[in-house]
Each structure stands twice: as C-alpha cells, then as structure tokens.
Amino acid sequence: MKPFTMILIIAGFLSSCSINSSSKTTAPVATATSVHYKPAPVTTVSNKNSIRGMQKYYRSTNTAIGPARIVIDKSDFELRVYDNKGLLAVYPVVFGLKPLEDKYMQGDRKTPEGTFKVSYSKQHQLWKHMLMLDYPTTESLIKFKVRKHSGLIPGNASIGSGIGIHGVEPGNDFFIDRFYNWTNGCISLKNTHIQDLAKYVKTGTPVSIQK
C-alpha cells in the first residue's frame, strides 16, 4: 500500500473517532413525543432554552367527565389525567435524583412507585401548589420491611414521608424542559401545569406511579 493512501486511511479513522466521541458528550434532545428518555446531565441545566414545552389536551380544559385519576409514568416522564371518558390531558414531569428507581428509604431522593391517593391540596409558597400523597401506604411499608429484612436497607433506616406533586420555584420551569430531576422524591411540574392539574384533583383522587 502506498504511504499516501495509508495516511488518508489513518486520517479518516481519527476523524471518525472524534465524531463518535463528541456524540457521547452531547445531551440528547427530547421532543414532545419522546419515550424512554435518558435524563440529561445536570450540567445542561444552565441552558434555559425550552426543549419540552409539551402540554397535550385530548379534550378542552375543564371538561372532565366524572372523577379523575392520575397515572405518572417514570419512563416517559409524563403525568396523565384520565376520567370516565378516557385520556384527558398529559403533562411533562421530573422526579427525584434517580428517577427510574423505586424509593427505598428516607433520604435516598427517589420517587416511590405504587398506588396512592391525594390526601390534601394546598397553595405552596415556593412551588405554587402542592398535592400531597398518602405515602407511605400499606404497600410501601410491606416493600420497606421486605427490603430491610433482605439487607437492602440499613436496620436503622426510616421509610420517610412528605411525598407530593408540586410546581417549581418561580423562574425554574426550565427544570422540566431539561429533564432535571431535582426533587427529594416528589413529582414536579411547571407552575402553570400544577395549577391546571389542581382543577381536576380532589382529596381521594387515585394516583398510580409506575415505570
């Protein structure tokens, strides 16, 4: 093989490696139809350009037929509202530090999975509105005890409490756009979305959190 040809081949190989390397460090760009999105690194939070201003209505707002129920899908980073007619609305959400892991104990900053109910609703000074859940439930306590017995949780650990659905501090809606999982285990929406969601929710509204 001629030296000049060999140089061209080596140069092409190095160029290819450079392209592949750079693609691994670029945060994925999500759209409103993204599913199974891998959360962007926290370093992208400084970029406040909205990439997920998604808010879908399958019917007009304030037209719920019968009682509402909520399904929160961790894999899709979505909160869905259903009523007796079917799917009503979908909102983008973020979670605790490790969004695709179930909550094990107090302080792990994970969002619990299972079936819950809204225990009460209130305005919140920092996060616009707060829909508190009845965590820990009997289901949560059983999982906690089994994991502790199996050695997955320290013997002195507590199960925790205070899990809810809420907004963000003013000016931080971009947390939701950038998939920044910032909470201590709660579910967070944009402020306009949590206010809208509160219209469909009352004490006892069922909430399912899954992945």
Q: What is the pLDDT of residues 27-61, one digit of tens each?
A: 333 333 332 323 333 323 333 344 455 567 677 76
Q: What is the pLDDT of residue 78?
A: 94
For the residues 82-107, what does the mean pLDDT come to? Answer: 94
Report whether pLDDT(15) > 60. no
Residue of 52, 108, 93, 113 whose CA lies nearest to 181:
93
pTM higher than the cut 0.75 = no
Least confident of 22-26, 139-143, 150-154, 184-188: 22-26
Mean pLDDT estimate for the chain: 78
Domains of the chain, CATH where assigned: 52-210 (2.40.440.10)
Q: Is 91 exposed, middle or buried (0-12, 13-18, 19+ CB in 10 A)?
A: buried
Q: What is the pLDDT of residue 172?
A: 93
Cα–Cα–Cα angle for 59, 131, 73, nearest 5°?
Answer: 60
Print the SS3 string covering 120-145: EEEEECCCEEEEEECCCCHHHHHHHH
Q: What is the pLDDT of residue 47?
A: 39
For the residues 194-206, what does the mean pLDDT come to? Answer: 93
Report whether pLDDT(163) > 90. yes
Query: Sheet containing 56-57: which strands, arranged edge to edge?
Result: 56-57, 86-92, 78-83, 69-73, 206-210, 114-124, 128-133, 164-166, 187-188
Report whether pLDDT(19) > 60. no
Q: What is the pLDDT of residue 53?
A: 56
**CA distances in angstroms from 185 to 13, 22, 86, 99, 168, listed in the order given:** 45, 32, 28, 8, 14
**Which letter does DSSP use for residue 208 in this model?**
E
For the residues 128-141, what does the mean pLDDT come to? Answer: 96
Report whether pLDDT(17) > 80. no
Residues 6 or more apart whose CB falls under 8 angstroms from that of 136 comprise 112, 144, 159, 160, 161
Report whether pLDDT(91) > 70. yes
Question: 206 in helix, strand or coil?
Answer: strand
Q: What is the pLDDT of residue 127?
A: 79
Percent of the chain residues topping a pLDDT of 70: 72
Strand partners, 183: 96
Strand partners, 122: 130
Q: What is the pLDDT of residue 55?
A: 64
DSSP E strands: which ranges in the chain? 56-57, 69-73, 78-83, 86-92, 114-124, 128-133, 164-166, 187-188, 206-210
